[in-house]
Amino acid sequence: MPTLKIYNGEFFERSKWRYIIIFLVIVLVIVLPFFYEKSDTLSWIFAAVIMLMIVWWYFFFQTKINSETKMVIKPEGLQVWERLIPYSMIKGFVVEAEKSTAKLRNIVLVYQKSVEIFTLKDTEKQAKLFFAELSKIVPFLEKYDQSWVEKFMRKIKL
């Protein structure tokens, strides 16, 4: 059974400056309201708690995505980690590459109403062998249509 090493989602390499800027913005959002005399302090504390929950959610999902797993072609479907995706659910797949280097970056599984993106962890040779086997079962699509929301979310790398 052909296998492919992947991350459990789309993986982004971020610089330290990005985290520093996000941290400073969060601190400003939490601290600035306390300097205004007319604001209701309780409502600002509530807003700060919600902000911290959002940050926790972001880091929680980031740790889930950073985990490495395998994609395995099985007779009954495509297995990703413990989950089995039946071939009937998959409309096709797309391979994304970096524009500057043409290095294979992501595999996108296109479903009827959504997509699922996994970043490749394996060698390019192994990836091409895997894609050749997968294209015998699931159609290889030249491209897929992204909504403006999906494009925007991927631009800011959420």
Mean pLDDT by 10 residues, the chain (158 residues): 87 74 78 68 73 80 77 96 94 93 93 90 95 96 83 68
Do the Cβ atoms of 114 and 57 come closer than 8 Å?
Answer: no
pLDDT at 126: 96
- Residue 78 bridge partners (DSSP): 73, 85
Q: What is the pLDDT of residue 74?
A: 96
Question: Six-digit token pair at 143?
Answer: 């491209």
Whether 8 contacts 65, CB under 8 Å: yes
Give the count of alpha carbons within 13 A of 87, CB side only: 13
Specify the pLDDT at position 47: 72
Give dist(CA 9, CA 68) in Å, integer.
9
